[in-house]
Amino acid sequence: MDLAAIAVTVAAVYLTTFMKGAFGGGFAIIGIPLMALVMDPVMAGALLAPVFCLSDLLALRYWRVSTWSKPDLSVLIPGQIAGVAAGFALMSVANADIIAVAIATLTLVFAASWFMSGGKILPKPRSSVKGVVAGVASGVSSMVAHAGGPPVAMYLLPLGLSKSVYAGTTFMFFMVGNYLKVGPWLMLVEPTRDWWLLLALSLPIIPLGVWSGLAAAREARSDAALQGLLCAVEHCGNKTTVGRAERARCRVGVIMRRTGMVRAQGRAIEFR
């Protein structure tokens, strides 16, 4: 196995689980762009899916029911269920390189919007319609790229929730989503021996990331960590977009000439 694949996977697992502890969730968008530098993004997404489920079990001890905004979850989760189903249908027919470009584009848009906004949020009233739309959008992007954080953040942040309630609500929303999509993600790939080995190596990193994220949140260091991570995310998204866009362009013509359902060409995925 390539040592670079091991190092990048460990780093990606640590960063995503750190953000789980610090913010409750919504920053899994960091994982796939980083791992896509050394492996196929579909395989990377399938590896991260069970990692997120395990990290949720650890974080559940800290983000208890008292930190959940139930009125918001009641409109977000139904939309999320529909979005995950739609995202799975999309991934079942999409080309792996096109998915990679979509993931990288989402990453760049999110990172750029964060820096351009300067972190300023305008307060807005609660809206059931906006909540359902945010849930659907999050479900689709979460299934396609583990990138469901931005739509939910855009809905929840203007509500003026306390930091703990915002994080707890985000955590519960994505815990439901992670368990909804772990099966579909694993159906999209044929795990190899290297895949199982990387998953095993990731297991001890999960509690380390969650606990260090919780410690950072308690010590008010999470904002600085977030800005540093978003800089790294933007760089990875840039590299992924440039590397995959040309390959995707060459394959689009082939896909369009085919009839019927076209399955992704990246099922039996090898590490590079």
**Rounded to an integer, what is the distance from CA 43 to the centroid of its chain?**
14
Q: What's the confidence (pLDDT) of residue 110?
A: 61
Q: What's the confidence (pLDDT) of residue 27?
A: 65
Cβ count within 10 A of residue 50 = 17
Question: 183-221: per-residue pLDDT in tens?
Answer: 988 988 888 899 999 999 999 999 999 988 888 776 654
Q: Tokens 């489920």 correspond to what residue?
A: 53
Q: What's the confidence (pLDDT) of residue 131?
A: 92
Please list the ranges in the chain whose pLDDT falls under 70. Answer: 1, 25-29, 94-122, 218-272
Q: What's the confidence (pLDDT) of residue 146?
A: 74
Token code pair at residue 15: 């960063």
Q: What's the confidence (pLDDT) of residue 62?
A: 84
Cβ count within 10 A of residue 65 = 9
Question: 251-271: per-residue pLDDT in tens?
Answer: 434 333 333 433 333 333 343
Q: What's the confidence (pLDDT) of residue 101?
A: 65
Q: What's the confidence (pLDDT) of residue 255?
A: 36
Task: List alpha helices for the chain, DSSP H.
Answer: 3-23, 31-35, 41-59, 70-93, 96-117, 128-145, 149-156, 163-187, 193-202, 205-218, 222-257
From its phi and psi, is residue 264 left (phi > 0), alpha (psi between -120 and 50) or beta?
beta
Q: What's the confidence (pLDDT) of residue 200?
A: 94
Which amino acid does the sequence have at 138? S
Q: What's the confidence (pLDDT) of residue 7?
A: 93
Q: What's the confidence (pLDDT) of residue 54?
A: 92
Q: Are 170 and 24 in contact (CB under 8 A)?
A: yes
Largest Cα–Cα distance in the chain? 56
Q: Which residues of 213-226 are buried (b: 16+ CB within 10 A; e: fewer)?
A: bbebbeeeebeebb
pTM: 0.71
Q: What's the confidence (pLDDT) of residue 216?
A: 79
Ordered by start, the domain boundaries in the chain are 3-257
